Structure 1
Amino acid sequence: MTEANVTLSDSAAKRIAAIVGAEAGKSALRVAVEGGGCSGFSYKFDLADGPQDDDTIVAKGNATVLIDKLSLIYMAGSEIDFVDNLLGQSFQIKNPNAVASCGCGTSFSV
């Protein structure tokens, strides 16, 4: 469990802390990369009760994000952000490794 070069924006850290704090028994947000989606890969977000042995821990303020070893390969250098605008609220990952993404913002290709 080491610190990664994945970062959290201030708005993402604040929102993650609020979500996790409202869920009994949960201590972190897990972000994973899965095969699928309209561009080849997609991000999956889940609440977790703690880290697994191969997780990388990204922390800022009261927010903790867990990323498994395989997903970290695809997310290296990324920033996790939280956007609240007229189109809605969502976590967005600004991934420098993605060469293409879809309109939904949750699917990408490398």
Structure 2
Amino acid sequence: MGTNKRYAERVDRQLGQRADEAATRGLAPTSLTDAELELDSLPLTKTPKPHEVRAWVRYGAVAVKVTARAVAWTPRAVALEWEAPSGETHRAWVWASAVEAADSGRLNRP
């Protein structure tokens, strides 16, 4: 008996999501520090219309790729908001290289 190739990718994705949820349950995302952000010397852009993005965020030692909204950015970092599986809104600053537009294009940053 073989595997059902039609659903294998979907099942793998669901198992990965469940593992991410279990590994991050009760944790807050890790955000860049003020020193890393350098907001006193780098230009900050805030947008009234957030951009939908996919981004790698960390919860301690666990990295998770989330669908999020980019609400602000500098040339080096992006401020994100997203809903965790628990229903809470999480927020964190991540390095700009960890973010891509949800439509797989480049995120327009200064």
Tell whether the structures are fold-level matches, with TM greater than 0.5.
no
* Structure holding more helix per residue: 2
Point out which structure has higher relative CO (alpha carbons under 8 A, 6+ apart).
1
Structure 2 length normalisation: TM-score? 0.24
For the pair shown, the structure with the greater C-alpha radius of gyration is: 2
